[in-house]
Amino acid sequence: MIDLYTFSTPNGRKASIMLEELGLDYTVHKIDITKGEQFTPDFVAINPNSKIPAIVDRDADITVFESGAILIYLAEKTGKLLSTEPKQRFQTIEWLMFQMGSVGPMFGQYNHFYKYAPEKIPYAIERYQKETLRLYDVLNTQLAKTEYVSGDYSIADIAIYPWIAAYKFMELTLDQHTELKRWYETLQQRPAVAQGMKVPA
């Protein structure tokens, strides 16, 4: 049994989509980051960085935090969604790191300055929107060559999807990125993706 500590954010949804895709039994523990629950001593003992998601694999007595690490751990635990063939494996890891190092931080900063910053700073909004759209371009170019981000459906797709799924919330469109839109609509139809996006209820 796996305990999933999560909230309804793109990073949190990566873990729940992965668990649904793998068909693993898991228990959801909602950590309401709007109320500061990520800073409680019990959760800090699981993740010293006070971020969701985190998992505890009770069967293996292993705790994993950081969403990318969780995806790799679960893929290796089950032998699914991350190839063991070296070239394919590292192509998938490259795109996972692309999400971790670029998509997540840049989309997050754009969303913060556009939606939540107490002061509207045009320079910051323009900077991060421009970078978000550049990353849309990168993905669109890649997806013109492959059905999924790194070839076969993998943890790279699972990592990137929840961030792309937030495009309407960020008041953006995918209409100018036809391959990215095609990929998004394909993943949207996967039952495990749809279910994982609903966690926590």
pLDDT tens profile 151-176: 999 999 999 999 999 999 999 999 99
And the tokens for 44?
A: 């800090």
What is the model's pLDDT at position 59?
A: 95
- The strand pair at 2-6 and 26-30 is best described as parallel
138, amino acid identity: V
Q: Which residues contact 67 (CB under 8 A, 6 or more apart)?
A: 11, 12, 14, 15, 53, 100, 159
CA dihedral 126, 132, 138, 142 (to 10 degrees): -150
59: left (phi over 0), alpha (psi -120 to 50) or beta: alpha
pLDDT digits (tens, 9 = 90+) for 123-151: 999 999 999 999 999 999 999 999 999 99
What does 168-195 look like in DSSP terms, one character per residue?
TTTT--STT-HHHHHHHHHHHT-HHHHH
* Alpha carbon of residue 189 to chain centroid: 17
What is d(CA 77, CA 63) in angstroms, rounded to the nearest whole number?
13
pLDDT value for 201: 87
Residue 155 has what pLDDT? Answer: 98
Mark the ranges of the chain whose per-residue pLDDT is less than 70: none
Burial class (CB in 10 A: 0-12, 13-18, 19+), 143: buried
On whether the CB atoms of residues 200 and 28 are closer than 8 A, the answer is: yes
The whole-angstrom separation of Cα 75 and Cα 154 is 9
Q: Is 38 exposed, middle or buried (0-12, 13-18, 19+ CB in 10 A)?
A: buried
Amino acid, single-letter form, for residue 44: V
